[in-house]
Amino acid sequence: EPEVTQTPSHQVTQMGQEVILRCVPISNHLYFYWYRQILGQKVEFLVSFYNNEISEKSEIFDDQFSVERPDGSNFTLKIRSTKLEDSAMYFCASRASREGGEQFFGPGTRLTVL
Protein backbone atom coordinates (compact mmCIF):
# COMPACT_ATOMS: atom_id res chain seq x y z
CA GLU A 1 0.00 0.00 0.00
CA PRO A 2 1.44 3.39 -0.96
CA GLU A 3 2.40 5.64 1.93
CA VAL A 4 3.83 9.03 2.72
CA THR A 5 7.34 8.87 4.14
CA GLN A 6 9.22 11.48 6.12
CA THR A 7 12.85 11.89 7.09
CA PRO A 8 14.39 12.21 9.54
CA SER A 9 12.13 10.75 12.20
CA HIS A 10 13.79 12.95 14.82
CA GLN A 11 15.87 16.09 14.30
CA VAL A 12 17.68 17.91 17.07
CA THR A 13 19.05 21.36 16.30
CA GLN A 14 20.38 24.45 18.01
CA MET A 15 18.31 27.62 18.13
CA GLY A 16 19.05 29.82 15.13
CA GLN A 17 20.03 26.94 12.87
CA GLU A 18 18.28 26.08 9.64
CA VAL A 19 16.54 22.73 9.26
CA ILE A 20 15.02 20.98 6.27
CA LEU A 21 12.35 18.39 6.84
CA ARG A 22 11.77 16.00 3.97
CA CYS A 23 8.70 14.22 2.75
CA VAL A 24 7.98 11.85 -0.11
CA PRO A 25 4.25 12.05 -0.87
CA ILE A 26 2.30 9.27 -2.54
CA SER A 27 3.38 9.22 -6.16
CA ASN A 28 0.16 10.08 -7.98
CA HIS A 29 -0.99 12.70 -5.49
CA LEU A 30 -1.19 16.34 -6.50
CA TYR A 31 -1.81 18.24 -3.26
CA PHE A 32 0.69 18.45 -0.45
CA TYR A 33 0.48 19.77 3.08
CA TRP A 34 2.56 20.46 6.14
CA TYR A 35 1.13 20.46 9.65
CA ARG A 36 2.69 20.79 13.04
CA GLN A 37 1.65 19.48 16.44
CA ILE A 38 3.24 20.84 19.55
CA LEU A 39 3.33 18.18 22.26
CA GLY A 40 -0.05 17.87 23.92
CA GLN A 41 -1.70 20.34 21.56
CA LYS A 42 -3.82 20.20 18.44
CA VAL A 43 -2.72 19.56 14.88
CA GLU A 44 -2.17 22.94 13.19
CA PHE A 45 -2.27 23.57 9.45
CA LEU A 46 0.86 25.27 8.10
CA VAL A 47 0.64 25.27 4.31
CA SER A 48 -0.86 23.59 1.27
CA PHE A 49 0.95 23.27 -2.06
CA TYR A 50 -0.30 22.52 -5.53
CA ASN A 51 1.11 22.88 -9.01
CA ASN A 52 4.44 24.06 -7.64
CA GLU A 53 3.04 26.90 -5.62
CA ILE A 54 1.55 27.59 -2.23
CA SER A 55 -2.25 27.55 -2.36
CA GLU A 56 -2.97 28.35 1.28
CA LYS A 57 -0.91 29.15 4.35
CA SER A 58 -1.69 29.87 7.96
CA GLU A 59 -0.53 32.72 10.13
CA ILE A 60 2.03 30.35 11.65
CA PHE A 61 3.73 30.01 8.24
CA ASP A 62 5.73 33.23 8.38
CA ASP A 63 8.88 34.29 6.57
CA GLN A 64 11.07 31.81 8.39
CA PHE A 65 9.23 28.94 6.70
CA SER A 66 9.42 27.88 3.08
CA VAL A 67 8.36 24.85 1.08
CA GLU A 68 9.72 23.38 -2.08
CA ARG A 69 9.18 20.48 -4.40
CA PRO A 70 12.67 20.29 -5.83
CA ASP A 71 12.03 17.22 -7.98
CA GLY A 72 9.16 14.94 -8.86
CA SER A 73 9.13 13.12 -5.57
CA ASN A 74 10.32 15.19 -2.61
CA PHE A 75 8.42 17.89 -0.75
CA THR A 76 10.44 19.84 1.79
CA LEU A 77 9.77 22.24 4.63
CA LYS A 78 12.61 24.59 5.51
CA ILE A 79 12.76 26.52 8.75
CA ARG A 80 15.39 29.22 8.33
CA SER A 81 16.28 30.23 11.85
CA THR A 82 14.76 27.87 14.37
CA LYS A 83 13.30 29.07 17.65
CA LEU A 84 12.63 27.10 20.81
CA GLU A 85 8.90 27.29 20.09
CA ASP A 86 9.39 25.52 16.76
CA SER A 87 9.87 22.28 18.71
CA ALA A 88 7.00 20.07 17.58
CA MET A 89 6.03 17.10 15.47
CA TYR A 90 5.80 18.06 11.82
CA PHE A 91 3.49 16.01 9.64
CA CYS A 92 3.47 15.95 5.87
CA ALA A 93 0.30 14.88 4.07
CA SER A 94 -0.75 14.36 0.49
CA ARG A 95 -4.03 14.03 -1.33
CA ALA A 96 -4.99 12.92 -4.80
CA SER A 97 -7.61 15.61 -5.41
CA ARG A 98 -8.46 18.97 -3.92
CA GLU A 99 -12.02 18.51 -2.76
CA GLY A 100 -13.11 15.53 -0.76
CA GLY A 101 -10.74 12.65 -0.58
CA GLU A 102 -8.54 11.56 2.22
CA GLN A 103 -5.30 13.22 3.19
CA PHE A 104 -2.67 10.61 3.87
CA PHE A 105 -0.28 11.56 6.62
CA GLY A 106 3.35 10.63 7.00
CA PRO A 107 4.66 9.37 10.34
CA GLY A 108 6.04 12.80 11.22
CA THR A 109 9.39 14.33 12.09
CA ARG A 110 9.94 15.27 15.69
CA LEU A 111 11.90 18.53 15.76
CA THR A 112 13.64 19.48 18.98
CA VAL A 113 15.21 22.94 19.17
CA LEU A 114 17.69 23.41 21.99
Partner 1 sequence: RKEVEQDPGPFNVPEGATVAFNCTYSNSASQSFFWYRQDCRKEPKLLMSVYSSGNEDGRFTAQLNRASQYISLLIRDSKLSDSATYLCVVNTNAGKSTFGDGTTLTVKP
Contacts with 105 (C-beta within 8 Å, 6 or more apart), sequence order: 4, 35, 91, 92, 93
| Candidate residues 26, 77, 88, 106; the one interacting with partner 1 per rule CB under 8 A | 106
The Cβ of residue 3 has, within 10 Å, a number of other Cβ atoms equal to: 12
Query: How many whole angstroms separate alpha carbon 62 and alpha carbon 74?
Result: 22
Applying CB under 8 A, what is the total number of residues that bind partner 1?
25
Distance of closest approach, residue 48 Cβ to partner 1, in angstroms? 4
Closest CB to partner 1 among 35 and 75? 35
Decide if residue 18 touches partner 1 (CB under 8 A): no
Segment interacting with partner 1, rule: CB under 8 A, options 13-21, 27-35, 61-69, 77-85: 27-35
Q: Which amino acid is at 68?
A: E
